[in-house]
C-alpha cells in the first residue's frame, strides 16, 4: 500500500492505494482514450417515443465542461439554463454522453438536433416524470490504452482483479477540486469562513503550476476576459445580483470542500481501523447530528467549527466501492477496459490505482 503516489493527491486529500503495483505506461485522459456514458433508468421514468411531460435530449460532448455544454444547449434552444435538468458533471477531457430533460411545453423541437465542433444534442423521446437522482443508475466507462506490451497488460489485469475483489476507497476524484488549479475546495472553505479577501485573492490572483501560460499571464495583468468563473465572480461583485449561475457555482465550491473533508475522513478510517472498515456508510460533514463523531479532529486541524459547515451537503456515502461488469480486452497492441460505477464514484480513482503517478489528468 502506497501513500500519495500521484502529485494531485496532496491537493485532493487522497492518500492510500490498495497495492503498490502499477502499469509502467503513461496514460492521459483525452476524448480518444476516455469515454463515459451515463446510465439512466428511462423505463422507470416512463419512457416513450410518442408522449410524456419531459423531452429527453442526448448530449455528446468532448473537451467541454458540462456547465458550458448546458449553457450552449440552452442558448441554442432559447431556454434559460435552469430549465434544463441533468444528473451531474462529466469529465471535460473525455467523450461524454449524458441526458438532459426539458419540459415538452417549452421546447422548440425544430431546433434539434444541434451540433458544434465539440457538442451534439439530439432528441430521443419523452419521459413521464421529472428526473430525480433515483433515476441515475451510474456511469459506464471505456478506457483505451494504445501501444502497450503484453507484460504491462498482465500487470493491468492483476490490478483490476485486486480492485474488483477488495474495492477502493470512495474518494472524490481530482476533477472535484480542479486539475489545472487545485483550489475549488479552498474557495469553498473561504466561502464558509466568509473571508471575501482571501477568496478573491485565491480566485483572481493565485498562480498554479499546471495552468496554461496564457491564463497565467491574464491573471498577472488582471485581464479576466474568457475566464469563466473569474468573470462570473466579478460580475457578481459589480452588480450584487445572484442568479442561477452564481448559486450553482458557490454550491459547487461548498460541495468541493465537503468532499475534501470526506477524503480526509477515509484516510483516518484506514489508519484507525483498516481497509475493511471502509465498507459502511459515512456521513458528509453537513450532517451535523453525526459529523462531530467522525470529523472532530479533522475540523480542529482545519481550524473550523462544525456550525460553520451547516450549509454544506448532508448525505451518507459508502466508504468503499467496486467496479462492476469489468472487462479487459487486448488486441494488436491496444487494451480496452470497460467497467461500470454506481452514481457518484470516480473513474479517476480506479485509474490512479492502476497507473499511479503515470496517470495524466488534464
| Across 137-161, average pLDDT | 97
Q: Output the pLDDT for position 300.
A: 94
Provide the whole-model pTM: 0.92
Q: What is the pLDDT of residues 59-71, one digit of tens each?
A: 999 999 898 899 9
312: Cβ contacts below 8 Å, ≥ 6 apart: 192, 254, 255, 257, 258, 284, 285, 286
Q: What is the pLDDT of residues 247-265, one digit of tens each?
A: 778 888 999 999 999 999 9
Q: State yes or no: pLDDT of 357 exceeds 90.
A: yes
Would residue 106 count as lying in a domain?
yes
**Domains contained in the chain, number:** 1
Residue 40 belongs to domain spanning: 36-137
Would residue 98 count as lying in a domain?
yes
Would residue 121 count as lying in a domain?
yes
| Across 146-164, average pLDDT | 97
Q: State yes or no: pLDDT of 194 exceeds 70.
A: yes
95-103/34-40 β-pairing = parallel
Q: Output the pLDDT for position 250.
A: 85
The CATH number of whichever domain residue 59 belongs to comes to: 3.30.70.3160
Contact (Cβ atoms closer than 8 angstroms) between residue 101 and residue 130: yes
Would residue 112 count as lying in a domain?
yes
Q: Output the pLDDT for position 247.
A: 76
Q: Which of 47, 304, 319, 290 is nearest to 192 (CA)?
A: 304
Determine what percent of the chain is predicted with pLDDT higher than 70: 97
Would residue 51 count as lying in a domain?
yes
Would residue 242 count as lying in a domain?
no
245: Cβ contacts below 8 Å, ≥ 6 apart: 81, 232
Q: Output the pLDDT for position 1.
A: 84
- Chain-wide mean pLDDT for the chain? 93
Q: What is the pLDDT of residues 202-244, one digit of tens each?
A: 999 988 877 888 888 888 899 988 888 888 888 776 665 555 6
Torsion sign, CA atoms 215, 89, 98, 327 = positive
Determine what percent of the chain is predicted with pLDDT higher than 90: 81
Q: State yes or no: pLDDT of 246 exceeds 90.
A: no
Q: What is the pLDDT of residues 35-81, one digit of tens each?
A: 999 999 999 999 999 999 999 999 999 999 898 899 999 999 999 98
Q: State yes or no: pLDDT of 141 exceeds 70.
A: yes
Q: Cα–Cα–Cα angle for 203, 206, 208, nearest 5°?
A: 110
DSSP reduced 3-state for 138: strand
- CA–CA distance, 271 with 23 (Å, rounded to integer): 26
Q: Output the pLDDT for position 12.
A: 95
Contact (Cβ atoms closer than 8 angstroms) between residue 138 and residue 331: no
Would residue 62 count as lying in a domain?
yes
Q: Output the pLDDT for position 169.
A: 98
DSSP reduced 3-state for 260: helix
Q: Output the pLDDT for position 239.
A: 66
Would residue 55 count as lying in a domain?
yes
- CA–CA distance, 26 with 40 (Å, rounded to integer): 32
Confidence of residue 154 (pLDDT cuts 50, 70, 90): very high
Amino acid at each position: 500500500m502506497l501513500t500519495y503516489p500521484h502529485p494531485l493527491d496532496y491537493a485532493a486529500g487522497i492518500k492510500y492505494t490498495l497495492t503498490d503495483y502499477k502499469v509502467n505506461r503513461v496514460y492521459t485522459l483525452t476524448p480518444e482514450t476516455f469515454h463515459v456514458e451515463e446510465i439512466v433508468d428511462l423505463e422507470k421514468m416512463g419512457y416513450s417515443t410518442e408522449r410524456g411531460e419531459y423531452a429527453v435530449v442526448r448530449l455528446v460532448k468532448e473537451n467541454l465542461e458540462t456547465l458550458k455544454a448546458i449553457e450552449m444547449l440552452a442558448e441554442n434552444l432559447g431556454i434559460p439554463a435552469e430549465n434544463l435538468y441533468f444528473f451531474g458533471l462529466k469529465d471535460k477531457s473525455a467523450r461524454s454522453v449524458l441526458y438532459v430533460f426539458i419540459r415538452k411545453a417549452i421546447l422548440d423541437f425544430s431546433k434539434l438536433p444541434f451540433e458544434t465542433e465539440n457538442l451534439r444534442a439530439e432528441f430521443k423521446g419523452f419521459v413521464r416524470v421529472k428526473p430525480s437522482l433515483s433515476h441515475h443508475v451510474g456511469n459506464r466507462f471505456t478506457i483505451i490504452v494504445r501501444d502497450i506490451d503484453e507484460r504491462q497488460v498482465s500487470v493491468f489485469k492483476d490490478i483490476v482483479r485486486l480492485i474488483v475483489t477488495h474495492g477502493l476507497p470512495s474518494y472524490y476524484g481530482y476533477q472535484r477540486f480542479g486539475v489545472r488549479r487545485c483550489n475549488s475546495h479552498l474557495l469553498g472553505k473561504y466561502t464558509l469562513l466568509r473571508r471575501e479577501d482571501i477568496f478573491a485573492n485565491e480566485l483572481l490572483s493565485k498562480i498554479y503550476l499546471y495552468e496554461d501560460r496564457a491564463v497565467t499571464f491574464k491573471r498577472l495583468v488582471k485581464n479576466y476576459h474568457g475566464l469563466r468563473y473569474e468573470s462570473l465572480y466579478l460580475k457578481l461583485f459589480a452588480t450584487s445580483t445572484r442568479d442561477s449561475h452564481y448559486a450553482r457555482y458557490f454550491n459547487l465550491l461548498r460541495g468541493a470542500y465537503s468532499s475534501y473533508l470526506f477524503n480526509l475522513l477515509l484516510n483516518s478510517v484506514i489508519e484507525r481501523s483498516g481497509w475493511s472498515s471502509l465498507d459502511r456508510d459515512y456521513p458528509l460533514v453537513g450532517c451535523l447530528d453525526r459529523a462531530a463523531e467522525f470529523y472532530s479532529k479533522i475540523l480542529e486541524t482545519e481550524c473550523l467549527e462544525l456550525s460553520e459547515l451547516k450549509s454544506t451537503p448532508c448525505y451518507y456515502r459508502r466508504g468503499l466501492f467496486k467496479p462492476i461488469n469489468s472487462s479487459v480486452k487486448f488486441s494488436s497492441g491496444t487494451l480496452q477496459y470497460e467497467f461500470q460505477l454506481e452514481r457518484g464514484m470516480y473513474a479517476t480513482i480506479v485509474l490512479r490505482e492502476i497507473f499511479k503517478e503515470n496517470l495524466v489528468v488534464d
